[in-house]
């Protein structure tokens, strides 16, 4: 982000900050910076909801929003960034304070000069007694005051130049700190074993998805039509094995957002038989296989130990089922070599599928998808069940 953009966002954030019941501190700035940047939809929605209900953010609400939506980083990183922000803002305050003190002296000197010029006193000096100041200093020569004004002008120019440099340095430092927080947040939203999004990122994506489901695009419609045609033309022997697709009632409008939850079958037995290291290899192999099938714009995450979640938009029921079954068949068709043996292990997935309904909450959609997953497990595993 450029300095110009950062400056503009600061200008937009400050009025919001000043209208709240919280102090003007780095935590408040971070919340309102993300709010005006419109780069954090869950935060923006949470702030708007709180403002509509309470009218303003107090300290507790500000820190709660920061913790939940901004500082998705480890406490050590968050504390380091806050400390550095405090140092940067403190440095700006010191520079501004020094410039302000000198500006006050400069204003007093200018006032003396203005009074002398108003009286036309250009020869005898500035007489504070004549201006009504009793017990004040002795009159001063106008030339002395002018010389002082000139000297103070030079000092003011130096002070302002130093303040400008300090502000420029501080902007760069704040931008560096924001980059550090951004990187830490990215790390906090990714699963270290698989490189996929983690449960926290998945929950955020699910919240955004249900809050503003995207309408199907012409490109998505054309892609789905082509996939259906290709599937119809393919010989029966080449089609992926599995249960028959769910029959969709004629005229049903099922195009929209879908949640797919997939779980590695009998993973506990694999862990027990071959150890955790081999279990991690299985999870990584499944993640790599899933990654190759994820449509553009979809969110794929490891949501639990051996469980994965996929959020995808713009599909009808037939296309969603086709994708889910391709995921199942792709993983089930692979083999993983056992440690220290020439034998291979077949890994299968059970998949639960659910379409997001209008006004549905994330927990409700997850519950329906998980219920479908349990049906797939109970039905023999290595299959897809759709909750519709």
Residue numbers in the chain where pLDDT is lower than 70? 1-4, 71-109, 112-143, 145-146, 150, 156-157, 159-164, 166-168, 170-171, 174-175, 177-187, 212-255, 339-342
Strands (E), the chain: 256-264, 299-302, 307-315, 335-337, 344-346, 349-355, 384-386
**Residues in Cβ contact with 99 at an 8 Å cutoff, skipping those fewer than 6 apart:** 156, 159, 160, 162, 163
Task: Decide: 59 and 120 in contact? Cβ < 8 Å.
Answer: no
5, 29 contact by CB (below 8 A): no
Instruction: Summarize pLDDT for 324-334 with one digit per residue, the tens.
Output: 999 999 998 87
C-alpha to C-alpha distance for 49 and 51, rounded to whole angstroms: 6
Domains and CATH numbers, the chain: 3-70 (no CATH), 76-188 (1.20.58), 199-386 (3.30.70.270)
Question: In the prediction, which pLDDT does 139 show?
Answer: 52
DSSP 71: -
- Parallel/antiparallel/unpaired status of strands 344-346 and 349-355: unpaired
Phi first, then psi, for residue 193 (nearest 5°) are -75, -45
Q: Are strands 335-337 and 299-302 parallel, antiparallel or unpaired?
A: unpaired
- Cβ–Cβ < 8 Å for 54, 17: no
- Predicted local confidence at residue 231, as pLDDT: 57
- DSSP conformational letter for 193: T
pTM above 0.75? no
CA dist., res. 253 & res. 256, Å (int): 9
Contact 386, 324 (CB under 8 A): yes
Q: Determine the Cα–Cα distance for residues 26 and 77; give it in Å rounded to an integer.
A: 14
328 neighbors 351 (Cβ within 8 angstroms): yes
| Residue-wise pLDDT tens digits, 211-268 | 744 444 444 445 555 555 555 555 544 444 444 433 333 334 446 899 999 999 999 8
Identify the pLDDT of residue 33: 87
For β-strands 256-264 and 307-315, DSSP reports them as antiparallel
By the 8 A CB rule, do 223 and 375 touch? no
Q: Compute the distance between CA of residue 252 and CA of residue 354 in angstroms, rounded to an integer.
A: 15
Within its chain, how far is the Cα of 25 from the centroid?
A: 20
């Amino acid at each position: 982000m450029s300095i110009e953009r950062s400056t503009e966002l600061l200008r937009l954030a400050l009025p919001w900050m000043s209208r709240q019941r919280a102090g003007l501190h780095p935590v408040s700035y971070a919340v309102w910076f993300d709010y005006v940047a419109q780069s954090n939809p869950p935060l923006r929605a949470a702030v708007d909801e709180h403002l509509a209900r309470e009218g303003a953010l107090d300290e507790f609400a500000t820190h709660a929003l920061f913790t939940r939506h901004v500082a998705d980083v480890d406490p050590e990183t968050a504390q380091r960034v806050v400390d550095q922000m405090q140092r940067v803002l403190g440095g700006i305050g010191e520079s501004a304070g020094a410039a302000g003190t000198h500006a006050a002296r400069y204003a007093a000197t200018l006032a003396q000069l203005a009074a002398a010029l108003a009286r036309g006193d250009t020869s005898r000096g500035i007489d504070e007694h004549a201006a009504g100041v009793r017990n004040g200093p002795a009159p001063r020569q106008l030339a002395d005051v002018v010389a002082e004004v000139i000297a103070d002008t030079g000092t003011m120019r130096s002070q302002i130049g130093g303040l400008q440099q300090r502000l420029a340095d501080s902007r760069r430092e704040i931008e560096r700190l924001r980059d550090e927080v951004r990187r830490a947040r990215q790390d906090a939203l990714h699963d270290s074993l698989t490189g996929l999004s983690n449960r926290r990122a998945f929950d955020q994506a699910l919240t955004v998805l249900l809050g503003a489901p995207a309408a199907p695009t012409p490109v998505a419609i054309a892609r789905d039509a082509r996939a259906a045609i290709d599937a119809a033309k393919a010989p029966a022997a080449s089609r992926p094995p599995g249960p028959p697709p769910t029959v969709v009632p004629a005229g049903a409008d099922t195009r929209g957002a879908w949640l797919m939850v997939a779980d590695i079958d009998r993973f506990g037995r694999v862990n027990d038989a071959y150890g955790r290291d081999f279990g991690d290899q299985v999870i990584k192999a499944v993640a790599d296989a899933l990654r190759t099938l994820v449509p553009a714009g979809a969110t794929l995450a490891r949501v639990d130990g051996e469980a994965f979640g996929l959020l995808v938009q713009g599909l009808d029921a037939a296309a969603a089922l086709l994708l889910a079954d391709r995921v199942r068949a792709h993983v089930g068709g692979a083999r993983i070599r056992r440690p220290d043996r020439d034998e291979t292990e077949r890994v299968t997935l059970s998949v639960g599928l659910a379409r997001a309904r209008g006004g549905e909450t994330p927990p409700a959609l997850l519950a329906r998808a998980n219920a479908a997953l349990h049906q797939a497990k109970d039905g023999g595993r290595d299959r897809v069940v759709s909750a519709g």
